[in-house]
Amino acid sequence: MKAQNGFETQVSLGLPSNTLSKETSSFNAALNLGYMFSTKKENSEIENLPLNSPTSFQYGVSVGYSYTIRDKTYNDLQLLPISAVVRMYYLGIFSLGLGAGYAVDLKPNTEDSGMFAEATLGIGVPQGSIFFAVRGVNSDDSPEFEWSTMSIGLRLLLGKKK
């Protein structure tokens, strides 16, 4: 199995997951585009397991668009998250990933911009998988503002470069 590098896309749908998000919003949709580099760990301890499956790593950058429908009191939330991403595939089909960066509020009033973080758990191969993600943003201007969602999505590797 050779390492796969290339562009990937993620599409996900989610629901608010913390108290403030639940009180002010009802639904979230996100689309991400990233470029991932992949490596295969040749001498992993996992190679000695009976399943003898390789462990592979992916790392790269991601930029996306996140749209959250909010109640009538607040404008809908539109964010542009930019993050560094790392992901590890276990037994050839399970993945665990982390991302961290900054989410820019796309409205003229940028009070909701802030640090962005995500954790993902996926089932599939590096070329495509279904994933569960928890994402959150802590606002720079309002420390009490914390927005987070739980999402389910599809991830596809668009281009391959060996």
- pLDDT of 2: 44
Nearest Cα to 140, choosing from 94, 161, 109?
A: 109
| Residues in a beta bridge with 63 | 33, 82
CB 127 within 8 A of CB 103: no
- Residue 43's domain comprises 6-157
Cα torsion for 102, 105, 106, 107, to the nearest 10°? -170
**pLDDT of amino acid 99:** 97
pTM for the model: 0.80
pLDDT in tens, 2-40: 446 789 999 999 988 776 666 667 889 999 999 998 886
Q: What pLDDT sits at residue 44?
A: 47
pLDDT tens-place string over residues 81-139: 999 999 998 887 899 999 999 999 998 766 778 999 999 999 987 788 999 999 988 88
At 77, which helix (H) or strand (E)? strand 77-90
Q: Residue 68: inside a domain, yes or no?
A: yes
Copy the structure tokens of residue 63.
């930029």
Percent of the chain residues past pLDDT 70, beyond the cut: 78
Length, in residues, of the chain = 162
Residue 162 domain flag: no
Indicate whether 59 pLDDT > 90. Answer: yes
Judge contact between 130 and 156, C-beta under 8 A: no
CATH number of the structural domain spanning residue 41: 2.40.160.20
Q: What is the mean pLDDT of residues 67-87?
A: 88
Tokens encoding 40? 């295969």
Number of structural domains (the chain) is 1
**How many whole angstroms separate alpha carbon 128 and alpha carbon 102?**
25
Residue at 55 is within a domain? yes
